[in-house]
Amino acid sequence: MKLSTGFWQTYKEVPADAEIASHQLMIRTGLIHKAGSGLYNYLPMGLRSIRKVENIIREELDKIGCFEITMSVVTPGELWQETGRWDKMGGLMLRFKDKKDADLCISPTNEEAVTDIFRKTIKSYKQLPVTLYQINTKFRDEIRPRFGLMRGREFTMKDAYSFHLDKASLDVGYQALYDAYTAIFTRLGLEFIPVEADGGAMASSDSKTHEFQVVANSGEDLIIYSAEAKYAANIEKAQTKRAPTTYDMNVVPMKEVETVKTETIEAVCALLGQTAAQSLKSMVYTATTGNESKMILAMMIGDDSVNEIKLQNFLKCDHLAASSEDELKKAKLWKGYIGPFGLEGQLEIIFDNAVNLDASYTIGANKKDAHVMGFNPKRDMKKIIQADLRLSKAGDLTLDGKHTVVEKRGIEVGHVFQLGDKYTKDMKVGVLDQNGKLVTPLMGCYGIGVTRVVAAAIEQNHDANGIIWPKSIAPYDVYFATIVKAEEFAKIADEIYADMKKAGIDVVYDDRNVGPGNKFKDADLLGLPYRVVLGERDFGASGELEIIERKTGTVTKVKRDELISTLKNLLK
Amino acid sequence: MKLSTGFWQTYKEVPADAEIASHQLMIRTGLIHKAGSGLYNYLPMGLRSIRKVENIIREELDKIGCFEITMSVVTPGELWQETGRWDKMGGLMLRFKDKKDADLCISPTNEEAVTDIFRKTIKSYKQLPVTLYQINTKFRDEIRPRFGLMRGREFTMKDAYSFHLDKASLDVGYQALYDAYTAIFTRLGLEFIPVEADGGAMASSDSKTHEFQVVANSGEDLIIYSAEAKYAANIEKAQTKRAPTTYDMNVVPMKEVETVKTETIEAVCALLGQTAAQSLKSMVYTATTGNESKMILAMMIGDDSVNEIKLQNFLKCDHLAASSEDELKKAKLWKGYIGPFGLEGQLEIIFDNAVNLDASYTIGANKKDAHVMGFNPKRDMKKIIQADLRLSKAGDLTLDGKHTVVEKRGIEVGHVFQLGDKYTKDMKVGVLDQNGKLVTPLMGCYGIGVTRVVAAAIEQNHDANGIIWPKSIAPYDVYFATIVKAEEFAKIADEIYADMKKAGIDVVYDDRNVGPGNKFKDADLLGLPYRVVLGERDFGASGELEIIERKTGTVTKVKRDELISTLKNLLK
């Protein structure tokens, strides 16, 4: 693209709503344009990157025999009703009615649609396994769209769905996709970690789930990680042990203490001169299944937190949420002063496994401005239920106790998930097996946030001057900036541009009538892998052009006839 | 693709709602799958064709320097309100509200969105002209979606928009797009006609508009065409002359005749033994502008019809529709018996230019079961307004009177249109010209119905056995069917398949364990340009394979080592 006639513009201003670097840089470099809240137009430069990401995904999936399809963006409500998700999907799914009053939605995901295609096409085990994928527009009506393409409402996603006769085949298919994802994110030039994740309450115990996380400080996800142990898991899924803890093993009578306006563990510990491990945190949740609700009291060591997914899995409830202030008031519970003693019978009380039942703890006194010291679970509770409820954290040990884990922040860019028979069962899909018996096929699903990948790549690869694109997804390979005035040199520059294009080098030709400072600033901001500079004076004197690597600043000087071979080598 | 493990299925049944060949064939060959009313999923075979169409479009537009972008499918209502189209777009635009009660719609077209991008990017004449395009999903909530991809609700469209400093530049840009469209549809292998079309009431008189029509009997559009005169126009836009007509020049007194239950021109002519040119047809319309409505009586020669676009352009009204039976009753007009005599003052009466004002005609008597013979416009009307109102038809003459036109049916697959300053004015877009003066740029818009092109190609290219794909957009080039059982021949077939793939030939390999009859039937149905057959007996005896051209049935026998070069020649 010749910039003098190209459709491209950089901006100095950072929009007020752009909180993270990738969002700011994508707007400033004219990659995207905001169409509305959480809605973006992809401008030529941005679209080129997106297409490169799409093509890498496509190549790797085609390599393992997946079939590309495109499902309608608008899908009929009927289909979602078959699995009950029309009612369960919640507010992220944008529903509306058409002219004939029929229910429609903009697909936030496509399990139902793909299962409908499958059941109309595949009848026999001979046609299995099969994996279908699409790269298409999705819409999720986020309450607070933010971070540009990172959490927009409309976005491009690659979603794949595999169908299998049995779990062994599903495992093989799952591994193939897992490996393809590894190949994809490697080719994309990203630092990523595949982490174990939780499949949710509906997943069977042997169902596998991984997220592919791009490591970045601005990431919204927390990863529990140990390089030595080769362990990585989403914080909600992580299985770790609390590091050795010094409990208070003095068994003394319970004693009420005055704790005026002391509603947090930190404040209580400070007031009483205790460590967090000497007190228990009381967390109240409302668990709902169908129309039934009950309140749950989760008891945690003072500096631990509840892993709500673990709690929900333990309770096997449909829905779990921290009880609201209204609910607490109705149950006559004093926020900040709740404790297990005296609540038996009124609430279901569950102690975390890390709680030493023989130790003494400070707990809430269930009245305002008071706590109880010396609570000993074994002595003071009639019945004790204990379960693994705690959220892993940095400093924990791996399950074998050998390694200490750290926390990393990540951006989820991919997701592989064994769905099992949830959708095929609800949608009554049958396939004949080798013995002529009708069986319910199993499914896997596999997503990549295409537009999010581009944002994550920038989040991970930028500096104060702008983007530093991974080679494989840079909008162009080379930024060719010329500092020439004489007709003669302009003609040479045009020729060199034509030569590069002819050699298959994707090149932006900055032939604008602006100063070198502006050109170099724009080049750094856009951050293509290499900048090539033709300076009239230098080229006139030495016949050399400069190649500057964006990432390292390394300068290579080359004669005109070495330019293309040098670039080709660098771009390999 | 190997069919034994491929995701492809043909069907014998034609779905009840598939009325036209392309719809039936696309379903029967597993190109598409119905997701809901007017909603289709594109299966692997269908998607391959769509992608080939997209790539040809992309190549030709990139060649003339257009820039590809992608605009959000969901667009905010605010943008449409700027041009007033939020209220004017009518029922085709599917509107809804998001969680925050903000107005949104699924884009049926993108003039506002692209103008918003333009005004935020382009400030100076130096950056003009520029053409932006996208290939993206659109949605129009058709009342009666039909004909599969031909008139679906969700579809893929290429929409381009050009911006210019002045009309001269717009004309140049328009011609460039017109030429690119000609190149595109030629490469797509379609028989098409660019026809003059009407730009609607908002278009200025010097605004150009053409439709690209694929000629097909099932087409919904009528084209007035003369090959000799190189004339082609959409019937609504067509400018032709009525062929020489014998009028009844006997001036006689008016006479009422009884015409019981004789409400059509045909019936009146038959009863009275007259030709259609001896009677006048009275057509009543309701014209609306703002909140004002009035009734119009259009007087046409008996066998002519009203061109409603011409009438609307003449009246300069916002909206025009044939008056309803209720409206007629209220105005005390007898349907089938209406005539101009006696209605002066009550209705605005306009005679078509083809009406010979000196001739005698039969007209309705404005009472039930009666007509009036011998009506002479000049004698019997106080005042006469005459205008060009008639719809062209086969048998008309070109304006120079030298050629007779015919009617052809067409499928509109493309559209080029000079928008002028409608959107840039409403959206307050300004660009600095050479003199530093702020001017309102002019726009052109250019659409191609990508998914409709695929349907139109099939509509134009099929026979009783199935599709006959144009080479450039066939899902694959070759259908390789093998009739082998012995291990030895299966191995050779696998090798030949691998050789073809390696040579860059897109090939479907029918290695399924089914009989030759089934394979050949499926091959014909799918209609790839060439079928290659490896028969165990023939190949064993002569070492030859058969290449059968789908379009002509021509059989070529080749040795294995000539296969690829022969195919490459054929596919050129």
Q: Is residue B95 classed exposed, middle or buried when 0-12, 13-18 and 19+ CB atoms within 10 A define those classes?
A: middle
Whether A273 and A350 share a structural domain: yes
Q: Which structure tokens are listed for A415?
A: 């997701």
Contact: A117, B43; criterion CB under 8 Å: yes
Q: Is residue A202 classed exposed, middle or buried when 0-12, 13-18 and 19+ CB atoms within 10 A define those classes?
A: exposed
Neighbours of B474 (CB within 10 A): 27
CA distances from B438 to A118, B418, B433, B565 (A): 57, 21, 6, 60
Residue of A nearest to B100 (CA): A143
Whether A234 and A292 share a structural domain: no
Neighbours of A197 (CB within 10 A): 25
Partners of A110 on chain B (C-beta within 8 Å) are: none
CA distance B35 to A21: 40
Query: In the predicted model, what is the mean pLDDT of chain A?
Result: 95
Whether A173 and A302 share a structural domain: no
Whether A417 and A493 share a structural domain: no
Distance from CA of B406 to the nearest CA of A (A): 38
Count of CB contacts below 8 A, A vs B? 154
Q: Reply yes or no on whether the pLDDT at A202 is more than 70.
A: no
Asked if the structure places residue B129 within a domain, the reply is: yes
Contact: B96, A99; criterion CB under 8 Å: no
- Give me the domain span that covers residue B59: 51-70+108-239+408-458
Whether B233 and B259 share a structural domain: no
Backbone angles phi, psi at B422, to 5 degrees: -50, -55
Whether A117 and A195 share a structural domain: yes
pLDDT value at position A88? 85
Distance from CA of B507 to the nearest CA of A (A): 15
Q: Which structure tokens are listed for A431?
A: 């396939």
In chain A, pLDDT over 90 holds for what percent of residues? 91
Q: Which of A35, A47, A65 sits opposite B68 (nearest CB)?
A: A47
Determine contact, residues B282/B301, Cβ cutoff 8 Å. no
Residue of B nearest to A40 (CA): B72
Distance from CA of B303 to the nearest CA of A (A): 37
Contact: A70, B98; criterion CB under 8 Å: no
Q: Which of A7, A75, A96 sits opposite B96 (nearest CB)?
A: A96
Whether A55 and A155 share a structural domain: yes
CA distance B72 to B85: 18
Q: Which of B356, B387, B418 is the last residue of a domain?
A: B387
Q: Which of B35, B71, B72 sits opposite A71 (nearest CB)?
A: B35
Asked if the structure places residue A1 within a domain, the reply is: no
Number of domains in chain A: 3
> DSSP secondary-structure letter at A426?
H
Determine contact, residues A404/A395, Cβ cutoff 8 Å. yes
Residues across chain A: 572
Contact: B117, A33; criterion CB under 8 Å: yes
Distance from CA of A59 to the nearest CA of B (A): 15
**Cβ neighbours of residue B340 closer than 8 Å, sequence gap 6 or more:** B280, B282, B297, B299, B349, B351, B363, B375, B377, B381
CA distance A543 to B329: 89
Contact: B47, A68; criterion CB under 8 Å: yes
Estimate to the nearest angstrom the gap between the alpha carbon of B91 and the chain centroid. Answer: 20
Asked if the structure places residue B80 within a domain, the reply is: no
Asked if the structure places residue B173 within a domain, the reply is: yes
H or E segment at A349? strand A348-352
Instruction: Dump pLDDT digits (tens) for A133-167.
Output: 999 999 999 988 999 999 999 999 999 999 999 99
Neighbours of A63 (CB within 10 A): 11
Q: Reply yes or no on whether the pLDDT at A200 is more than 70.
A: no
Please report the ipTM that was assigned to this predicted complex: 0.91
Q: Reply yes or no on whether the pLDDT at A69 is more than 80.
A: yes
Q: Which of B332, B357, B387 is the last residue of a domain?
A: B387
**Cβ neighbours of residue A346 closer than 8 Å, sequence gap 6 or more:** A331
- Among A3, A43, A111, the residue to mutate for chain B (most B Cβ within 10 A): A43
**Cβ neighbours of residue B90 closer than 8 Å, sequence gap 6 or more:** none
Mean of pLDDT values over A237-261: 93
pLDDT value at position B290? 85
- CATH of residue B322's domain is 3.90.960.10
Q: Looking at A264-307, list the stretches that DSSP marks H as alpha helix, in order from N- to C-terminal side.
A: 265-272
Contact: A74, B154; criterion CB under 8 Å: yes
Sign of CA dihedral A182, A186, A187, A191: positive
Q: Which of A33, A40, A98 sits opposite B141 (nearest CB)?
A: A98
- Among B1, B4, B7, the residue to mutate for chain A (most A Cβ within 10 A): B7
Contact: B102, A37; criterion CB under 8 Å: yes
Mean of pLDDT values over B134-151: 93
Mean of pLDDT values over A357-384: 96
- CATH of residue B124's domain is 3.30.930.10
Partners of A47 on chain B (C-beta within 8 Å) are: 68-70
Distance from CA of B562 to the nearest CA of A (A): 29
Q: Could you please report the per-residue DSSP string of B147-199?
A: TGGGB-SEEEEEEEEEEESSHHHHHHHHHHHHHHHHHHHHHTT--EEEEE---
- Among B27, B73, B89, the residue to mutate for chain A (most A Cβ within 10 A): B73
> DSSP secondary-structure letter at A248?
-
Mean of pLDDT values over A445-470: 97
Contact: A43, B91; criterion CB under 8 Å: no
**Over A106-128, what HEC string results?**
ECCCCHHHHHHHHHHHCCEHHHC
Q: Reply yes or no on whether the pLDDT at B200 is more than 80.
A: no
Residue of B nearest to A41 (CA): B71
Task: Tell me the whole-structure pTM to 2 decimals.
Answer: 0.91
Q: Which of B67, B120, B143 sits opposite A99 (nearest CB)?
A: B143
Q: Which of A33, A70, A91 sits opposite B120 (nearest CB)?
A: A33
Whether A295 and A234 share a structural domain: no
Contact: B137, A73; criterion CB under 8 Å: yes
Contact: B67, A74; criterion CB under 8 Å: no
Contact: A41, B78; criterion CB under 8 Å: no
pLDDT value at position A212? 97
H or E segment at B548? strand B544-549
Neighbours of A543 (CB within 10 A): 12
Q: Reply yes or no on whether the pLDDT at A116 is more than 70.
A: yes
- CATH of residue B566's domain is 3.40.50.800
Instruction: Dump pLDDT digits (tens) for B240-273.
Output: 999 999 999 999 999 999 999 999 999 999 999 9
CA distance A108 to A140: 5
- Among B104, B127, B162, B163, the residue to mutate for chain A (most A Cβ within 10 A): B104
Tokens 């491209």 correspond to what residue? Answer: A8
Q: Reply yes or no on whether the pLDDT at B15 is more than 90.
A: no
Partners of A75 on chain B (C-beta within 8 Å) are: 35-36, 39
Q: Could you please report the per-residue DSSP string of B5-62?
A: TSS----SPPPTT--SHHHHHHHHTTSEEEEETTEEEEPHHHHHHHHHHHHHHHHHHH
Distance from CA of B501 to the nearest CA of A (A): 14
Please tell me whether the peptide bond between A340 and the residue prior to it is cis, using omega within 30 degrees of 0. Answer: no
Q: Which of A72, A106, A127 sits opposite B41 (nearest CB)?
A: A72
Contact: B35, A116; criterion CB under 8 Å: yes
- Among A27, A68, A74, A506, the residue to mutate for chain B (most B Cβ within 10 A): A74
Backbone angles phi, psi at B281, to 5 degrees: -95, 130
Asked if the structure places residue A248 within a domain, the reply is: no
pLDDT value at position A201? 58
pLDDT value at position B61? 98
Query: What burial letters (b/e) apply to A232-255, b meaning 16+ CB within 10 Å?
Result: bbbbbbbebbbeeeebbeeeeebe
Neighbours of B565 (CB within 10 A): 11
Contact: B44, A68; criterion CB under 8 Å: yes
Whether B120 and B189 share a structural domain: yes
Task: Label residue B318 by pLDDT band (50, 70, 90).
Answer: confident
CA distance A336 to A279: 13
CA distance B233 to B410: 11
Instruction: Dump pLDDT digits (tens) for B38-76.
Output: 999 999 999 999 999 999 999 999 999 999 999 999 999
Q: Which of B30, B99, B121 sits opposite A7 (nearest CB)?
A: B121
Whether A36 and A144 share a structural domain: yes
Asked if the structure places residue A6 within a domain, the reply is: no
Contact: A35, B72; criterion CB under 8 Å: yes
Asked if the structure places residue A15 within a domain, the reply is: no
Determine contact, residues A224/A238, Cβ cutoff 8 Å. yes
CA distance A247 to B355: 107
Whether A174 and A49 share a structural domain: yes
Q: Which of A68, A71, A74 sits opposite B106 (nearest CB)?
A: A74
Q: Reply yes or no on whether the pLDDT at A318 is more than 90.
A: no
Q: Could you please report the per-residue DSSP string of A132-157?
A: EEEEEEEE---SS-BTGGGB-SEEEE
Contact: A94, B98; criterion CB under 8 Å: yes
Whether A218 and A268 share a structural domain: no
CA distances from A9 to A257, A461, B162, B372 (A): 66, 21, 18, 72
In chain A, pLDDT over 70 holds for what percent of residues? 99
Distance from CA of A41 to the nearest CA of B (A): 4
pLDDT value at position B201? 58
Asked if the structure places residue B27 within a domain, the reply is: no
Q: Reply yes or no on whether the pLDDT at B171 is more than 90.
A: yes
Please tell me whether the peptide bond between B129 and the residue prior to it is cis, using omega within 30 degrees of 0. Answer: yes
CA distances from A208 to A183, A196, A204 (A): 19, 8, 9
Q: Reply yes or no on whether the pLDDT at A286 is more than 90.
A: yes
Instruction: Dump pLDDT digits (tens) for B407-445.
Output: 999 999 999 999 999 999 999 999 999 999 999 999 999
